[in-house]
Homo-oligomer: A and B are copies of this chain.
């Protein structure tokens, strides 16, 4: 474990970061989920779950998720959505082989010096919190707040992305390597996190009227550019990201009287902004 880096000399100001340290969301990997309360923006993670991501895109483009429902809200855990069980697939596949983890490859990885309870090493890969086991040469995405996964049944290979969930509480890291994570909510998680908790087993709603209606789900790429949310994400390989993380380890605001000098991978909310 590397020693924690030193306290920064000057406060970090996100507004002063260079434009080159931000990147626009790729519309080909951005999903809009429309509920009556507003739009939830999800960034997909093809580097970690290529087959699930391709499948979700096929499902979205075949309108599989239009007129579907949020069927579960379990406190301090997840919100989950799916189409009625009677709906037939007109594109895509179900089920798919699990993509719980993968061999370490060419995907980027910015490690954190901070120790983690669950994994030998944590950090960010592209726009996603991730972990590595260098000895076993494996890497996987981590279940932080806002991460989106493909729900499955008993068997490992029973998910497909046609039923999805988002994390709305303390990071359930025990799910790491047990579910295929497919992306994360980059905007609008607060529309999901406030949904009334279901009173059935595992937070499933007992009655249909309790469910939230999903009006439609779209790929950003399929909308005219003017109708897309022009969101940018701080590049996790950039110097600005390093300075940002350091500012979370050592808080410069005078309100803070103590800093541990450490930060958890799930306590780093990757900065997202509207393109200036």
Contacts and interface: CB of A to CB of B under 8 A. Distances in A.
Interface of A: 75-76, 100, 114-119, 144-146, 154, 156, 169-174, 176-178, 189-190, 193-197, 248, 251, 254-260, 262-264, 266-267, 269
Nearest to A156: B257
A117 B257 contact: no
A216 B195 CA distance: 25
A119 B156 contact: no
A174 B267 contact: yes
A260 B119 contact: yes
Nearest to A153: B255
Contacts of A193: 75-76, 169, 193-194
A154 B254 contact: yes
Given A170-B267, A174-B259, 16 more contacts: A75-B193, A117-B262, A117-B263, A119-B260, A145-B169, A169-B170, A172-B267, A173-B264, A173-B267, A174-B248, A174-B256, A174-B263, A177-B258, A193-B193, A194-B194, A194-B196
B170 A144 contact: yes
22 contacts: A75-B190, A76-B193, A115-B115, A115-B117, A117-B117, A117-B264, A118-B262, A119-B260, A144-B170, A154-B254, A154-B255, A169-B170, A170-B170, A170-B267, A173-B267, A174-B251, A174-B259, A174-B263, A176-B258, A193-B193, A194-B194, A194-B195
Nearest to A131: B260
B170 A171 contact: yes
Contacts of A154: 254-255
A173 B75 contact: no
A269 B76 contact: yes
